[in-house]
């Protein structure tokens, strides 16, 4: 997967547009947030098969299970990484715009390395939540 020439501007615009949006399944949840960032940087929508398929947590994980066989965020991340040839990288090498996984197992969620490269952004009740990069358990380089 290759980032377009002006990916930094596109990603910055995307993050600005998400900054005040509330978390909502099927609109701006962790998976669609990360997929939107990837689309902004590469013009490839990795979540096209999931968009419009759910509007609740239960429906989201049912759609994920139909897509990749397991109802977890790590499973769908692995499935999409393989399908779109997105290489996993050690968290310490994650750069701005790279997707990351927060936590492990059934409680896992996804986020994005922020523009300055030291924090993670992920959708939250009142906008984007900022967490230290040390909260990431896995990372992929886009």
Helix (H) or strand (E) holding 111: strand 109-113
- Mean pLDDT across the stretch 45-55? 95
CATH class of the 7-141 domain in this structure:
alpha beta
- Model confidence pLDDT, tens digit, residues 22-47: 999 999 999 999 999 999 999 999 99
Where helices occur in 4-142 by DSSP H, the ranges are 7-18, 30-42, 57-68, 73-83
Burial classification of residue 136, based on how many CB atoms lie within 10 Å of its CB (0-12 exposed, 13-18 middle, 19 or more buried): buried
- Model confidence pLDDT, tens digit, residues 4-20: 999 999 999 999 999 98
- Model confidence pLDDT, tens digit, residues 95-120: 999 999 998 666 789 999 999 899 99
**Residue boundaries of the structural domains of the chain:** 7-141
Mean pLDDT of the chain: 94
Q: Is the pLDDT of residue 65 over 70?
A: yes
């Amino acid at each position: 997967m290759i980032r377009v020439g002006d990916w930094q501007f596109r990603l910055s615009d995307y993050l600005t547009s998400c900054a005040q949006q509330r978390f909502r399944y099927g609109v701006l949840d962790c998976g669609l947030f990360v997929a939107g960032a990837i689309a902004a940087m590469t013009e490839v929508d990795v979540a096209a098969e999931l968009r419009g398929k759910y509007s609740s947590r239960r429906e989201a994980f049912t759609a994920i299970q139909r897509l990749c066989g397991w109802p977890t965020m790590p499973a769908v991340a692995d499935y999409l990484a393989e399908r779109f040839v997105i290489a996993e990288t050690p968290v310490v090498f994650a750069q701005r715009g790279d997707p990351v996984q927060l936590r492990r197992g059934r409680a896992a969620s996804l986020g994005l390395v922020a523009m300055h490269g030291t924090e993670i952004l992920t959708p939250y009740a009142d906008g984007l939540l900022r967490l230290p990069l040390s909260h990431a358990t896995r990372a992929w380089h886009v």
